[in-house]
A = this chain, B = another copy of it.
Amino acid sequence: MKIKFKQSDIAGKLASVVRAVPSRPTHPVLANILLCADAQSSKVTLTTFDLSLGIHSTFNADIEVGGAIALPAKLFTELISRLPNGEIVLESDEAIASLTTSSGHYEVRAMDAEEFPELPEIEGDAIRVSARTLLFGIKHSSFACSDEETKQLLTGVHLKISEDSLEFAATDGHRLAIAQIDEEIAIASPLEVNIPAKALRELERVLLNSEDVVEVKLNEEQSVFAWRGQKLVSRTLEGQFPNYSQLIPRQFERLATVHRRNIISVLERVSVLADQKNSIVKFSLNSSSQEIVLSCISSEVGNAQEAIASGISGSDLEIAFNCKYLLEGLKSFASAEVQMHLNGALSPVIFTPVGGDKITYLTMPIQIRE
Taking Cβ atoms with an 8 Å cutoff, the residues of A that contact B are 72, 75, 78-79, 82-84, 96, 101, 103-109, 265-266, 268-270, 272-273, 300-308
Contacts and interface: CB of A to CB of B under 8 A. Distances in A.
A305 B104 contact: yes
Residue from A105, A300, A302 having most chain B Cβ neighbours under 10 A? A302
A265 B108 contact: no
Contacts of A108: 273, 301-302
Given A84-B265, A268-B82, A273 B304 contact: no
B301 A109 contact: yes
Given A84-B265, A104-B266, A266-B104, A272 B304 contact: no
B308 A103 contact: yes
A80 B2 CA distance: 60
Given A78-B272, A104-B266, A106-B269, 9 more contacts: A79-B273, A84-B265, A101-B306, A103-B266, A105-B304, A105-B306, A106-B304, A106-B305, A107-B304
Contacts of A304: 79, 104-107
A272 to B, nearest CB: 5
Copies of this polypeptide in the complex? 2
A308 B101 CA distance: 13
Given A104-B306, A306-B104, A308-B103, A83 B301 contact: no
A183 to B, nearest CB: 39
A72 B270 contact: no
Contacts of A84: 265
Nearest to A96: B302
A265 B302 contact: no
A102 to B, nearest CB: 10
A302 B109 contact: yes
Contacts of A300: 109
28 contacts: A75-B272, A75-B273, A75-B301, A75-B302, A78-B272, A79-B269, A82-B268, A82-B269, A82-B272, A83-B269, A84-B265, A96-B302, A101-B306, A103-B306, A103-B307, A103-B308, A104-B266, A104-B270, A104-B305, A104-B307, A105-B306, A106-B269, A106-B302, A106-B303, A106-B304, A106-B305, A107-B303, A109-B301
B79 A272 contact: yes
The 8 closest A-B pairs by CB, nearest first: A104-B306, A108-B302, A82-B269, A79-B272, A107-B302, A106-B304, A107-B303, A78-B272
A72 to B, nearest CB: 7
Nearest to A104: B306
A72 B103 CA distance: 57
Nearest to A304: B106
A135 to B, nearest CB: 30
A273 B78 CA distance: 10
A269 B269 CA distance: 45
Contacts of A78: 272
Contacts of A96: 302
A268 B83 CA distance: 9
Contacts of A82: 265, 268-269, 272
Contacts of A273: 75, 79, 106-108
Nearest to A98: B302
